[in-house]
Structure 1
Amino acid sequence: MKKVVVGLSGGVDSSTTAAILHHQDYEVVGLTLWLMKGKGQCCSEGMVDAAFICEQLGVPHHIVDSRDLFQTHIVDYLVEGYSAGITPLPCSQCNKTVKFGPMLRYAKEELGIDLIATGHYARIRYDEQNNRYQLLRAVDRSKDQSYFLYDLTQDLLAGVVFPLGEVLKSETRRIAAQYNLKTAEKPESQDLCLVEANGSMRAFLDKYITGKTGDIVDENGKVLGQHEGIHHYTIGQRKGLGIAAPNPLYVIGIDAGRNLVIVGDRENATQTECIIKRVNWVSMAPPTSPIRAEVQIRYRAKPQPVTVVPLNSAEDQQVKLIFDEPIFGITPGQAAVWYTGEIVLGGGIICS
């Protein structure tokens, strides 16, 4: 019987993943990562539900204390980024450094199991011609999470299965109900885990960053208003500026050194190209010449046609993205992920 470690958050997706594999005659072991610091978190609803699902299925349940890892790679990462005037994307960082990597390592070293599974909506297939694992969009495009998984390396993809990649979300609920899982009707998580734990991203950041008031200025340096801390602003933001102007204004720049938020019209918030750092080529080897693709600069953004130009960099793998049409709200710190059809070719972090 094949063994698999299933990452359990206590939600319907991961619970159904465990149930599907259990009923496919896998020997399932549940694994929950304890990520949040703070009083009472060890008894949080997610952990309790994960434990209940394992008891219901009759499988073992392990809890790994990953709070220090989460603090270093996610909390500190976010605080450092927002303090520097960028808007970091924690999810892809968390998937690689906190979840998939440590989970697979724990499975192999502590349990002697070479395979892990999660409830992510994405697919993996092996390309025999190029001897490479490919990451693909989920069948349910409305739930597709491949954007957040672009940073997974070949060794991680080799040890992961995504049972929900082939099903619709409605089918996931039906399967959960079929197996009488406690989580079958559990509401979906709508926000980042840190947002849910703190009430809002603003509340989370205010716990770690002391807001310093400064000026909101236009492109020419004219003072238009005041801000309460640059960490409350992001590129492309329109609401919450507190400025009366004849035309809509958007955040087009954040100058951490001078503690300035720079605003302008929508045209000034669009770009025709940007530089991407920390690139991970997922489904293909790094190219030596430009390629054509479709890129997403945010999770829910519509893919846009782009030319991906490899750059020589002493620091890390970098590319330049040249868009066919100017794109609004390109935000340093966020991820850009490029596809060909349903295949994730690669991705990285927007730096300029």
Structure 2
Amino acid sequence: MKKVVVGLSGGVDSSTAAAILHNQGYEVIGLTLWLMKGKGQCCSEGMIDAAFICEQLGISHHVVDIREVFQTNIVDYLVSGYSAGITPLPCSQCNKTVKFGPMLQYARENLGCDRIATGHYARIRYSEETKRYELLRAVDRNKDQSYFLYDLSQDLLAGSVFPLGEMQKSETRRIASEYNLKTADKPESQDLCLVEANGSMRQFLDKYLAPKTGDIVDTDGKVLGQHDGVHHYTIGQRKGLGIAAAEPLYVIALDAVNNKVIVGDRTKATQPECTVHRVNWVSMAEPTSPIRAEVQIRYRSHPVPVTVIPLENSRVRIVFDEPQFSITPGQAAVWYEGEKVLGGGIIEQFSDS
């Protein structure tokens, strides 16, 4: 019998993934990562629901305390990023360093298994032509999570299964109901786990970063107002600035060194290109010359045509066909060829041009 370890968060997606594989005849082992204390699907409440699902399916359930890894790789990563004036994206970092990596390692070393499965909406296929595992968008484009998975290595892709990748979310709910899963009608989390556990990102950050009053200035250095910490702002933000102006103003830069929030009109929040570092080439080997692709610069943004230019030290320059609004350092840029994820990385800085 084939064996697979299923990462269970206590939500309907991971529960249904486990039930599907169990029904297909796999020997399924449930594995829940204890990320932090508190409420939310990744915490105490989620562990209880995950344990219930395992009991319901008649499978074993393992809980791994990974709070220190989560603290270092996610909490400290976020706090240091926000304090430096960037807006980090924790999910792709968490998937690689906190979830998939440790899960596959635990499965191999403790459970005699080299396959893990999750409830992510994405697909994996192996290309005989390139001899690489390719990461593809989910069939349900509204639920597609490939953007958050761009940083998975070939080894992690080779050892991962996404049972929901070919399904619509409505089908997942239907299957969960058919199997009478406890989580079938469980509401879907709409926030990052840290936001869900703390109430808001502001409340989370305020636990670690003290208020620090500074100036809100325009591009000429004119003081327009005051802020209580650059970590409370992000590039492209318009609301909540607390300043009056004849035209709409947006955050266009965060100067953490001088403790200033810099604002300007929409044109000043628009850039023709950006550089990206910590690049992971997923479905293709790193190219030696520029390639054409479509890029997403945030999870819900529409893919736009670009030229991706390889640089040294796992970096690329992305040149947009049309300048883009609100390119945010710390967020992920993920480039695609149709449904295939070619690569991705972290937006590093704006071009000086």
Alignment TM class, shorter chain as reference: over 0.9
Q: Distance in 2 between matches of 1:181 and 1:124?
A: 26
Residues 211 and 230 in structure 1, CA contact (< 8 A), matched pair in contact too: no
Matched, 1:335 2:332: yes
Count of residues in Structure 1 that have an aligned counterpart in Structure 2: 349
Give the secondary structure class of the aligned counterpart of 1:163. Answer: coil
Q: Does 1:27 align with 2:27?
A: yes
Q: Per-residue CA shift, 1:273-312, capped at 9, x if unaligned?
A: 0000000000000000000000000000000000000012
Q: Structure 2 CA distance, aligned partners of 1:38 and 1:249?
A: 37
In the alignment, the residues of structure 2 paired with residue 39 and residue 325 of structure 1 have an alpha-carbon distance, to the nearest angstrom, of 43
Identity over aligned pairs, percent: 80
| Whole-angstrom distance in 1 between the partners of 2:46 and 2:257 | 41
Distance 1:245 1:101 in 2: 49
Match of 2:112 in 1: 112
1:41 deviation in Å?
Answer: 10
Q: How does 1:187-266 map to 2 (within 5 A)?
A: 187-266=187-266
Instruction: State the partner residue of 2:80.
Output: 80
TM-score using structure 1 length: 0.98
Matches within 5 A, 1:91-102: 91-102=91-102
- Counterpart of 1:125 in structure 2 is 125
User: Who is 1:325 aligned against?
Assistant: 322
Structure 1 125/40 Cα, relative in aligned 2: closer, same or farther at 3 Å? closer
Instruction: Give the equivalent residue in structure 1 for 2:282.
Output: 282
Tell me the SS of whatever aligns to 1:166.
Answer: coil
Q: Which string of whole-angstrom CA distances, capped at 9 and with x for unpartnered residues, describes residues 57-116 of structure 1?
A: 000000000100000000000000000000000000000000000000000001110000
Q: Indicate the SS of the match to 2:69.
A: helix
TM-score (norm 2): 0.97
The alpha-carbon deviation at position 44 of structure 1 amounts to 1.8
CA separation of 1:192 and 1:49: change in aligned 2, threshold 3 A: same
Q: Which residue of 1 aligns with 2:342?
A: 345
> Hey, what's the Cα distance between the residues in 2 that align with 1:130 and 1:332?
32
Q: Which runs of 5+ in 1 are unaligned?
A: none
Provide Cα deviations, 1:14-60, integer angstroms capped at 9, x if missing partner.
00000000000000000000001469999721111000000000000
8 A contact 1:336–1:350 mirrored in 2: yes
Relative to structure 1, is the Cα distance of residues 147 and 127 closer, same or farther in structure 2, using a 3 angstrom cutoff?
same
Tell me: CA distance 1:136–1:43, structure 2 relative to 1, closer, same or farther (3 Å): closer
Unaligned runs of 5+ in 2: none
Cα distance between partner residues in 2 of 1:254 and 1:140: 36
Structure 1 residue 253: deviation in Å? 0.4
Letter in 1 for 2:330: G
SS in 2 for 1:208: coil
Residues 195-242 of structure 1: CA deviation (Å, up to 9, x unaligned)? 000000000000000010000000000000000000000000000000
Distance in 1 between residues matched to 2:30 and 2:204, nearest whole Å: 30
- Alpha-carbon distance between aligned partners in 1 of 2:39 and 2:88, rounded to the nearest angstrom: 27
Correspondence 1:138 to 2:135: no
- Amino acid of the structure 2 residue aligned with 1:349: I
CA RMSD of aligned residues (A): 1.3
